[in-house]
Structures are given as structure tokens and as C-alpha cells.
Amino acid sequence: MALGLVAKKAIVKEINDVAQEALSVAVAEYRGMEVAELTKLRRQARAQGVYLKVIRNTLAKRALEGTKFEDIEPALKGPLVYGFSIDAPGAAARLLKDAQKESKHLKVTALSIGSGLLGPEKLEAVASLPTRDEALAKLLATFKAPVTKFVRTINEVPTKFVRVLSAIKDAK
């Protein structure tokens, strides 16, 4: 069923709003996928905080104009599903990477984290980006490590002293 001009404008505005807030976008060709597979993928996307939508490429080009993802335009060919990561930069890439393992029809064609067009060969790198909680945990561990080593070092002095006294006592 053909979309009217009002519906097209609504889709463009919705995608533009999502793209303004998104941290990254992953685009995959879904040619040959069954409806049940795509429905399962949509369910997984909702659970992982990924905005997943099948959009006409002409509407997507218009929606991405003026956003940090407008450089992805040359890769918009064929039937595509767009995944926008809202919470974690690697969420959409992780979702499509996992779905690509399950479905032979799904192929990631392009990625962007707002710094240019990335090809499908960068899927593993983008998918491995940490979530916000993981990044904060790593940062906390980095801050904590020097303090922990300092406390251990300071604690070694009296411990060695007690060991020496104990060894002298045992020797006598």
C-alpha cells in the first residue's frame, strides 16, 4: 500500500528525532528473511534498547539529513533494516551481529557511530564497544588499582617487620 505525503513526513520526522538522540546506527540487508525471523529480531531489539525499523531508503536519506549519520547515505541500497542504538553505542551492532549468525539472509552493510561511514568489516569492533555500565566499571577499576597497590605496599612494611621478629624468636 502506497504511503501518502502526510505519512511519509511523519516517518521522516520520527526517524530524524530518533537519529538525533541515537549513539550509533547499524544497517542490514534483510532480503529473503521470513516474517517470523524479522518479528523475533524486533522483539530482541526492544529488549536491548535498540530502535529497529524497516524504512524506504529515500525516506531514510531525508530523515538522516542534518544528523551525525548523514554520511551513511552511499550505503543505502536494497531492502534495509535500520537499527539505532539509544543507550549503548554497540547495542545495534551487537544485535545485528547475533542475528546474522542465526539467519543466513541478514547481512550488515554499513555502520556509523557518528564519525563517518564504517563498512561491515568493522562490525566486530563496534559490537564490542562497552555499555555505559561496563565503561564506568572499567573506569572505577582504573581509579581503584593505584590506591589498592599503595595500601598493599604500605601494609607490607609492618608485615615484614613482624615476620622478621617472628623469625628471630624462632631462631632463639
Helix (H) or strand (E) holding 171: helix 132-171
- How many Cα atoms sit within 13 Å of 166 on the Cβ side? 6
Phi, psi (5° rounding) for residue 40?
-60, -40
Measure the CA–CA gap between 74 and 32, rounded to whole angstroms.
22
- pLDDT given at position 88: 80
**pLDDT above 70: residue 128:** no
Grid coordinates in use for 80? 534495509
**85-114 pLDDT tens trace:** 888 888 888 888 888 888 888 888 888 887
Of 17-26, 69-78, 121-130, minimum mean pLDDT range: 121-130
Measure the CA–CA gap between 28 and 111, rounded to whole angstroms.
9
Residues in CB range of 134: below 8 A, 6 or more apart: none
* Residues 58-82 as b or e (16 or more Cβ within 10 Å = b): ebbebbbeebbbebbeebbeeebbb
Question: Is 19 in contact with 84 (CB distance < 8 Å)?
Answer: yes
**54-92 pLDDT tens trace:** 888 888 888 888 888 888 888 888 888 999 988 888 888
**pLDDT above 60: residue 1:** no
Measure the CA–CA gap between 83 and 121, rounded to whole angstroms.
17
Q: How confident is the model at residue 124 (pLDDT cuts 50, 70, 90)?
A: low
